Amino acid sequence: MYEGVVQGLIDELGRLPGVGPKSAQRIAFHILAADPDDVHRLATALTEVKEKIRFCTVCGNVAEAEQCQICRDPRRDPAIVCVVEESKDVVAIERTREFRGRYHVLGGAISPIEGIGPDELRVKELMTRIADGTITELIIATDPNLEGEATATYLARLVQPMGLRVTRLASGLPVGGDLEYADEVTLGRAFEGRRQLDV
Amino acid sequence: MYEGVVQGLIDELGRLPGVGPKSAQRIAFHILAADPDDVHRLATALTEVKEKIRFCTVCGNVAEAEQCQICRDPRRDPAIVCVVEESKDVVAIERTREFRGRYHVLGGAISPIEGIGPDELRVKELMTRIADGTITELIIATDPNLEGEATATYLARLVQPMGLRVTRLASGLPVGGDLEYADEVTLGRAFEGRRQLDV
Contact status of A49 with chain B (Cβ, < 8 Å): yes
Same domain, A140 and A196: no
Shared-domain flag, residues A93 and A147 = yes
Mean pLDDT of chain A: 88
Q: Over the stretch B170-184, which tens digit does the pLDDT of each residue have?
A: 878 777 777 777 787
Record: contact B23-A26, CB cut-off 8 A: no
* Residue A61, domain member (yes or no): no
- Which of B5, B25, B88 shows the shortest C-beta gap to A48? B5
Please list the residues that pair with B105 across neighbouring strands. Answer: B84
**Cα separation, B32 vs B144, whole angstroms:** 43
Query: Does residue B19 form part of some domain?
Result: yes
CATH number of the domain enclosing A143? 3.40.1360.10
Q: How many domains does chain B have?
A: 3
Whether residue B96 lies inside any domain: the answer is yes
Closest CA to A168 of A184, A181, A149: A149
What's the gap in Å between the CA of A42 and the closest CA on chain B? 6
Transcribe A141-160 into DSSP letters.
---SSHHHHHHHHHHHHHHG
Same domain, B121 and B177: no
- Whole-number Å distance between alpha carbons of A154 and A159: 9
Cβ–Cβ of B43/A41 closer than 8 Å?
A: no
The CATH number of the domain holding residue A30 is 1.10.8.420
- What confidence category does residue B116 fall into, taking pLDDT thresholds of 50, 70 and 90? very high
What secondary structure does DSSP assign to A94-150, as a single string? HHHT---EEEEE-SS--BTTTTB-GGGTTHHHHHHHHHTS---EEEE---SSHHHHH
- For residue B40, pLDDT beyond 80: yes
Residue B70: HSE in the Cβ half-sphere, 13 Å Cα cutoff: 28
Tens digits of per-residue pLDDT, A133-174?
Answer: 899 999 999 988 889 989 999 999 999 889 899 998 875 667
Q: Which residue of A has its CA nearest to B90?
A: A2
**Is residue A21 located within the same domain as residue A74?**
no
Residue A57 maps to a domain: no
DSSP category for residue A179: G
Q: Does the beta-carbon distance from B49 to A28 stay under 8 Å?
A: yes
Same structural domain, B72 and B157: yes
Q: What percent of chain B has pLDDT over 90?
A: 53
CA–CA separation, B77 and B81 (whole Å):
8
Q: Could you tell me the strand order of the sheet in which B137-140 lies?
A: B101-105, B77-84, B137-140, B165-168
Cβ atoms within 10 Å, residue A60: 23
Q: Does A10 share its domain with A76? A: no
Residue A98's pLDDT band (boundaries 50, 70, 90)? confident
- In this prediction, residue A195 has a pLDDT band, given cuts at 50, 70 and 90, of low
- Residue B174 has, within 13 A of its CA and on its CB side, a CA count of 9
CB count in 10 Å sphere of residue B151: 25
The reply to whether B33 and B119 lie within a common domain is: no
Residue contact A15–B25, C-beta within 8 A? no
Give every CB contact of residue A87 below 8 A, 6+ residues apart in sequence.
Answer: A61, A62, A105, B2, B29
Are B45 and A9 a contacting pair at CB < 8 A? yes
Sign of CA dihedral B58, B62, B66, B68: negative
- Contacting residues of B for A17, CB less than 8 Å apart: 26-27, 30
Q: What residues of chain B lie within 8 A of the CB of A41, using their CB?
A: 12
Same domain, B78 and B161: yes
Q: How far apart are CA B5 and CA A174, in angstroms?
A: 32
Same domain, A114 and A43: no
Q: In what order do the strands lie in the sheet with A101-105?
A: A101-105, A77-84, A137-140, A165-168, A195-196
DSSP state of A199: -
Separation CA B82–CA B105 (nearest Å): 8
| Contacts A52 to B, Cβ<8 Å | 5
B64 and A88 in contact by Cβ < 8 A? no
Whether A11 maps to a domain, the answer reads yes
Domain boundaries, position B179? 171-199
Which residues have a Cβ under 8 Å from the Cβ of A188 and sit 6 or more positions away?
A96, A97, A98
In a shared domain, residues B41 and B104: no
Q: Does A9 reach chain B within 8 Å, measured CB to CB? A: yes
Residue A72 and residue A152 in one domain: yes
Give a yes or no: residue B190 inside a domain: yes
Beta carbons of B40 and B48 less than 8 angstroms apart = no
Continuous segment of H or E residues that includes residue B63: strand B62-63
Residue B29 contacts A where some CB pair is shorter than 8 Å: yes
Comparing CA positions, the residue from A1, A165, A97, A194 lying closest to residue B87 is A1
- Taking an 8 Å cut-off on Cβ atoms, the answer to whether A16 and B25 are in contact is no
Instruction: Report pLDDT digits (tens) over B69-103.
Output: 999 999 999 999 999 999 988 988 888 888 899 99
Distance CA B61, CA B56 (A): 5
CB of A70 less than 8 A from some CB of B: no
Q: Would residue B62 count as lying in a domain?
A: no
pLDDT exceeds 70 at position A175? no
Contacts 24+ apart (CB under 8 A), A71-79: A71/A102, A75/A100, A76/A100, A76/A101, A76/A102, A77/A101, A77/A102, A78/A102, A78/A134, A78/A135, A79/A134, A79/A135, A79/A136, A79/A137
Task: Render pLDDT for A5-39 as a digit per residue (tens, 0 to 9).
Answer: 888 999 999 999 999 988 999 999 899 888 989 99
Our CA-based measurement puts residue A43 at a distance from the nearest CA of chain B, in whole angstroms, of 5
Chain A contact for B42, CB < 8 A?
yes
**Cβ separation of A31 and B49 shorter than 8 Å?**
yes
pLDDT tens digit sequence for B137-180? 999 998 888 899 899 999 999 998 888 888 888 878 777 777 77
Q: d(Cα A101, Cα A193) in Å, to the nearest integer? A: 16
Q: Report the chain B residue with the minimal C-alpha distance to residue A41.
A: B12
- DSSP helix/strand/coil, B6: helix
Does A73 fall in a domain? yes
C-alpha to C-alpha distance for A5 and B65, rounded to whole angstroms? 12
Q: Say whether B31 and A49 touch across the interface (CB within 8 A).
A: yes
Contacts of B18 in chain A (CB under 8 A): 23, 26-27
Question: Where does the pLDDT of residue A199 fall: very low under 50, low under 70, confident under 90, or very high at 90 and above?
Answer: low
Q: What is the 3-state secondary structure (H, E, C) of A15-37?
A: CCCCCCHHHHHHHHHHHHHCCHH
For residues B73 and B162, state if they share a domain.
yes
Q: Do B2 and A29 make contact, defined as CB atoms within 8 angstroms?
A: no
Is the separation of the CB atoms in A188 and A96 below 8 Å? Answer: yes
**ipTM of model:** 0.70
